[in-house]
Structure 1
Amino acid sequence: MHDIRTVRADPVAFDAAMARRGLPPMAEEVLAQDAARRGAQQALQEKQARRNVLAREIGQAKRTGANSVALEAEAVRLRDEMVALEEAAATADRAQTAILESLPNILDPEVPDGRDESDNVVLHQHGEPPRPNFTPRQHFELGEALGLMDFAGAAKLAGARFTVLKGPLARLERALAQWMITLHTEEHGYTEAAVPYLVNAATMYGTGQLPKFEADLFKTTDGRYLIPTAEVPLTNLVREEILPEAALPLRFTALSPCFRSEAGSAGRDTRGMLRQHQFQKVEMVSITRPPDSEAEHERMTRCAERVLTELGLVWRRIVLCAGDTGFGAAKTYDLEVWLPGQGAWREISSCSNCRDFQARRMNARMKPAEGKGNVFVHTLNGSGVAVGRALIAVLETHQQEDGSVLVPEVLRPWMGGLDRIGPN
């Protein structure tokens, strides 16, 4: 959500910021509704002042026996006019809010210009894509050949974009999740939280999923929503809170299922586990003082990078361009892994600094240790990482010519010492 004072202060700059996102000028319409709201409120105050005067005059007339009919008639007209002005102010306020809440965050000046993912910029790379002396398989080919990845069974149970994992592959997914959440809590300083998977509309609004992205969500019959990521409940823990400056930063992590309708993705990644309606993810969320969010963004991204390095994966960090940066983010780093079976880089983590964009929607503030007034906190979120995609990367990276898969050393204690997954 944007501060209306930002639009008032420099509408040209605001439109220029939205233009970087490919949006048309919006400041004039926002300011028109703002002027209508403020005008109605000013007129309402004037009429309220007159109504107070009338009340005294009517009281005086009644006490002295003077004729108060004309005064009472004016009071009735004023009441009707005030009701109309209240509605006009509320209508303008709703219109202004509807525009502002539909507009994405203002981008960091360092975000490169560009229209789509082809304009993203690679910042650095860890490792080189391997060149095995055999033709590597994709993860679903490996999983099905091992007899441990069942797409037909999942389709029978739930339809497309679901998977059933069995035996050592199911355990490998669990091992990945447990190892990652332990790494972030014991070595990276995050506090683990077990969060609701169903949340209300106010929670979805706070992090920006509503109203713009309702089509991407699963909604229950009682008006709740299945979370698309644990970012939603974790960030909303500070909604409507005023935090002491000394309490920041807050760092939370959670392992949760994520539910996404994948609206608009028909025909994309229909084979395998890359794009599912349900998947597990380890999420990281930070709540910081405004001056600290940039450094926290770097820190969070390095936490996710360590996961990939420890798993023996080839990865790279990219900064998303203006046209590919998400709605609520001011700046986003994506981490991509090399998948030998696909012969392509694929996203496995996304770490974003939202600055005060979500905090304004949530009314999440900080009380400075010095000075007066409260300020909005900054919020950040990142995947640490998506468990299903980590499983895919481990399978394709550590596959052997005979179709078996080596278990990364860091996961072996979580696998009962198993170092290789072979045919079932």
Structure 2
Amino acid sequence: MLTIKQITENTDAVVRGLEKKHFKNAKETIEQVLALNNKRKSTQVVLDTNLAEVNTTSKAIGALMKEGKKDEAEAAKARVASLKETNKTLQADMDQAAHDLQQLLYTIPNVPYEEVPEGNGAEDNLVVKMGGMETPLPKDALPHWELAKKYDIIDFDLGVKITGAGFPVYKGKGARLQRALINFFLDEARASGYTEVMPPTVVNAASGYGTGQLPDKEGQMYHCEVDDLYLIPTAEVPVTNIYRDVILDEKDLPIKNCAYTECFRREAGSYGKDVRGLNRLHEFSKVELVRIDKPEHSRQSHQEMLDHVEGLLQKLELPYRILRLCGGDISFTAAICYDFEVYSEAQKRWLEVSSVSNFDTYQANRLKCRYRTADKKTELCHTLNGSALALPRIVAALLENNQTPEGIRIPKALVPYCGFDMID
């Protein structure tokens, strides 16, 4: 969440940034934050003054009694009793103001960087790079859901039977392709200096608040109500929360973690052609990159993550493009975000396969994730993450773009992981 210092020292810039994100009533909300903060601070001043007077007066009572000044001592006792009652009210008022302030801050998104373009939605995102080759396909090229049925590698109907729509069953070479991609992505991440972790796929509410999924995305998460636990929408949540309430040493930054997990998203309200087949699932596999860094190095870290994801798509021989998201399409928590999309020749559309984001101090402030500088000062870290990569649409693009009359060709980089070079 935004820091009070950030809001008080750069109020106009914060309001402009929130307006770029199309956050409703930005100015009024920030004014409310400032009012609550002022109330908390002013109440604290009165309370501190009263506590000091209680302390001083309490010490004086004994001396007054020794001097035989009983009336003055009784008056002092009455004054202390009155102050203590007043202080109870002041403490309650201050606690309420602090609580209301915290809850309000949870509802305010991150402020985007200056280079984030203006815009309302996906149509206004800025294409910054394109790569890969166009794929010549047979005249009767099929979409991946037809290919999956033809080669018996993914069974969508069986998934509906077992669980429901959006939970496919991978079979035979389809399952082996999934496992190959997971291992390929993890090996590539480790080769780039990431430490692999295997976190839980269920988290508590504190973890959801820590990375900003709660309260913003509560309706999109699967909630185990009896235990008040949530199925993760991305490994970002458990991996970043490893560093909640932690003070790191500056010399240990940046910290680089990668993790493979299953991910779960309700995707409420999704329907139509955009969700057919593997295009949008409720459960899917993903390898995630997470970095914890110091502010002056986080932009370099972000670029290194972008280069890493681009390298994966190049090795998979897929046509891709990189977009800088506009203010109206960027996520609630991100300060800047780039999306990677691969082109599906059979569907004639772009499919998002990765988002790589820098959150600045927004998540770190929620997490209380800090680092200690060489001169012993404590500062908030920057957090970053990115998909490297999400599997469903990668699989869809691989199947569609590599179909031949003989079968589906496996990219060279994946053959050692699959153990086969063709699905036929």
Output the TM-score relative to the length of structure 2: 0.95
Cα RMSD for the two superposed structures: 1.6
Deviation at 1:73, TM superposition (A): 2.9
Cα deviation for residue 303 of structure 1 reads 0.7
Q: 1:373 aligns with which of 363, 370, 377?
A: 377
Contact 1:293-1:378 within 8 A present in 2 as well: yes
Q: CA deviation at 1:53?
A: 2.9
1:45 equivalent in structure 2: 48
> Counterpart in 1 of 2:122?
117
Distance across 2 between alignment mates of 1:256 and 1:290: 28
Matched residue, 2:250: 245
Aligned to 2:208: 204
Q: Residue 386 of structure 1 corresponds to which residue in structure 2?
A: 390
Structure 2 counterparts to residues 81-230 of structure 1, below 5 A: 81-186=86-191, 188-220=192-224, 221-230=226-235
Say if 1:199 and 1:227, in contact at 8 Å, map to a contact too: yes
- Counterpart of 1:326? 331
**Residue in 1 aligned with 2:268?**
263
Alignment of 1:10-89 (within 5 A): 10-23=10-23, 24=25, 25=27, 26-63=29-66, 64=68, 66-67=70-71, 68-89=73-94
Three-state SS of the structure 2 residue aligned to 1:194 is: coil
Aligned to 2:422: 420
Q: d(CA) in 2 for partners of 1:303 and 1:127?
A: 15
Contact 2:132 2:314 in 1 (8 A): no
Q: Tell me by how many angstroms 1:89 deviates.
A: 0.7
Residue ranges of structure 1 left out of the alignment (5+ in a row): none
The CA distance in 2 between the partners of 1:223 and 1:48, in whole Å, is 39
Q: Which amino acid aligns with 1:238?
A: Y
- Distance in 2, matches of 1:5 and 1:306, equals 39
Instruction: Kindly state the Cα deviation for residue 372 of structure 1 after the two structures are TM-superposed.
Output: 4.1
Q: Which range moves more in the overlay, 230-239 or 324-333?
A: 230-239
The 2-side partners of 1:66 and 1:368 are apart by 56
2:304 maps to 299
Report the count of equivalent residues: 418
Structure 2: unaligned runs, 5 residues or longer: none
User: Would the aligned equivalents of 1:283 and 1:385 in 2 still touch at CA under 8 Å?
Assistant: yes
Match of 1:358 in 2: 363
Distance between the aligned counterparts of 1:160 and 1:249, measured in 2? Answer: 40
Q: Distance in 1 between matches of 2:88 and 2:272?
A: 53
> Do 2:402 and 2:408's aligned partners in 1 also have CA atoms closer than 8 Å?
yes
* Contact 1:162 1:273 survives alignment (8 Å): no
Q: Percent identity?
A: 37
Is the Cα contact below 8 Å between 1:314 and 1:337 reproduced in 2?
yes
Deviation at 1:227, TM superposition (A): 1.3
Counterpart contact for 2:216–2:332, Cα < 8 Å: no
